[in-house]
Amino acid sequence: MFSQSMYTLGTNRSCIRDLFEYGLQQAQTVGKENVFDFSLGNPSIPAPNAVRDAFSGLIEREDSLSVHGYTPAPGLFDARSAVADDLTDRFGFPIHPENLFFTCGAAPALTAAIRALAVENAEILAIAPFFPEYRPFVEHNGAAFAVVPADTDTFQIPVADVEAALTPHTQGIIVNSPNNPSGVVYTRGNLSALAALLTRKSQEYGHPIYILADEPYRELVYDGAEVPFLPAIYPHTIICYSYSKSLSLPGERIGYVCIPDCAADSRELLAAVAGASRILGHVCAPSLQQQVAAQCARVRPDLEAYDRNRRTLYDALTSYGYACVKPDGAFYLFVKAPGGDAQAFSDRAKKRNLLIVPGGDFGCPDFFRISTCVSHDMILRSLPVFQQLISETQV
């Protein structure tokens, strides 16, 4: 006698993880150099030196009890101050330590925020393409999950389709920019149109519709692309942040929820996040990692390697005839599957040991995702396979 729904969640592995583990197996058989694994979104550049220095300094020089002790549930005041100051300076928008609640990364930030919004009959929207875990996060934390279909020409937010999906029960809409899996950065104009819609509908419904801004890729942008600071465009914004990608610390589980003063019921909502965090078993974010985040609040990643990978793959694939919106951020390409069925195309690629993720779980079954956080050498070795696969499709 155990929960069947939890068992199903624990055994229905994501196709991403299946591909990744298949790749590890195949490497044993055909050699590592003959497997082209573009499945995982695991950073491939090391953490900045400042991060290493911060870890070392804390371990070597600080008192064990203060480094490793329980922190207040929202996080160390110094860590919240450092992040608040950085956000305020960068975006010219007032963020205070009291607006921040540290978490074990973006996943607990999102689940706590969803649970805090989960009033009776609550609905949370996501915009395709979207990170597949949003669905279980929402459905098992007290809300219904609804999807706005993708604008597959641009992968910007299709505002008219968002309007069609809104109901009086809509409590929030997840906005993930730079986007996983498309790599697209929503433009200021696009976000302003969304904000205008949400403002109008919030008035109509008599309660705020919150934006849940899932922003682990905020600092991963190329060609000078702008990631607008959402609270400056739409007041009712809940930022869910992680240092996983920006500081290459995915396993270290450190991030935060930020609800600025301009959001409706800002402090009450952050208290509800604290309550949700409590019953989700979070207690506090890792103390050592909080202190590293405090010291590294102004550290930015060196994106040269990701940018080079992005350009190499984008230029090569489009030259072969693949269709793909050029990504301005994150470390993914979201490519239209030749032949139209990304699952079938991914299966064919898999036979050549080229591992790409079909887009069905992202809400776009005609597209596949390539992670560009890989070695440049592997990219170069993989290009003939990409070329061959599309040429075979066209025959």
* Closer residue to a copy of itself (CB): 279 or 395: 279
Closest contact distance (angstroms) between CB of 332 and a copy of itself is 16
- Cβ burial, residue 134 (10 Å; 0-12/13-18/19+): buried
Does position 377 interact with a copy of itself (CB under 8 A)? The reply is no
Run of H or E including 238: strand 237-242
Residue 395 binds to a copy of itself (criterion: CB under 8 A): no
* Interaction between residue 237 and a copy of itself (CB under 8 A): no
| Contact between residue 108 and residue 88 where contact means Cβ atoms under 8 Å apart | no
Least distance from a copy of itself to the Cβ atom of residue 215, Å: 16
Instruction: Answer yes or no whether residue 198 interacts with a copy of itself by CB under 8 A.
Output: no
Site for a copy of itself in 142-181 (CB under 8 A): 142, 171
Residue 318's CB: how many other CB atoms inside 10 A? 14
Please, which residue, 221 or 269, has the CB nearer to a copy of itself? Answer: 269
DSSP 162-185: HHHH--TTEEEEEE-SS-TTT-PP
**Given the structure tokens 């590890």, which residue do they identify?**
24
Single out the residue of 376, 221, 394 nearest to residue 323, CA to CA.
394
Pick from 87, 128, 276, 330 the residue near a copy of itself by CB under 8 A. Answer: 276
| List 193, 274, 316, 390, residue binding a copy of itself (CB under 8 A) | 274
The backbone torsions φ and ψ at residue 52, rounded to the nearest 5 degrees and listed phi first, read -60, -45
- Given the complex with a copy of itself, which of 69 and 384 has the nearer CB atom? 69
Reading the block at residue 350, the tokens are 């898999």
9 near a copy of itself (CB under 8 A): yes
Q: Of residues 90, 278, 300, 308, which one binds a copy of itself by CB under 8 A?
A: 278
Nearer to a copy of itself, 208 or 338 (CB): 208
Rg of the chain over Cα atoms, rounded to whole angstroms, equals 21
Residue 379 near a copy of itself by CB under 8 A: no
Residues 68-87 that bind a copy of itself (CB under 8 A): 68-71
| Chosen residue from 25, 56, 88, 167 binding a copy of itself by CB under 8 A | 56
Smaller CB distance to a copy of itself: residue 9 or 30? 9
Given candidates 15, 77, 97, 136, which one binds a copy of itself under the rule CB under 8 A? 136
Least distance to a copy of itself, CB of residue 361, Å = 14
Nearest of 45, 22, 50 to residue 35 by alpha carbon = 22
Counting contacts by CB under 8 A, is residue 97 touching a copy of itself? no
- Work out whether 252 is an interface residue with a copy of itself (CB under 8 A): yes
Confirm or reject binding of residue 10 to a copy of itself (CB under 8 A): yes
Provide the Cα torsion 280, 283, 285, 288; round to 10°. -150
Contacting a copy of itself (CB under 8 A), which of 148, 221, 273, 299?
273
- Cα–Cα distance, 365 to 163 (Å, whole number): 23
Q: Whose CA is closest to 356, among 347, 28, 128?
A: 347
Residue with tokens 């465009």: 233
Closest by CA to 176, choosing from 354, 363, 2, 27, is 363
Q: Which stretch binds a copy of itself (CB under 8 A): 111-119, 150-158, 189-197, 315-323?
A: 111-119
CA distances from 284 to 71, 241, 253, 281 (A): 6, 15, 11, 9
- Selected range binding a copy of itself among 266-274, 324-332, 350-358, 360-368, rule: CB under 8 A: 266-274
Tell me how many degrees the CA angle 210-216-220 measures, rounded to the nearest 5: 125
Q: Please tell me what DSSP assigns to residue 187.
A: P
Is 391 one of the binding residues for a copy of itself (CB under 8 A)? no
Residue of 19, 35, 82, 109 interacting with a copy of itself (CB under 8 A): 109
Residues 17-46 close enough to bind a copy of itself by CB under 8 A: 40, 42-44, 46
Pick from 80, 201, 218, 282 the residue near a copy of itself by CB under 8 A.
Answer: 282
Q: What angle is formed at CA 281 by the lines to CA 276 and CA 282, rounded to 5 degrees?
A: 80
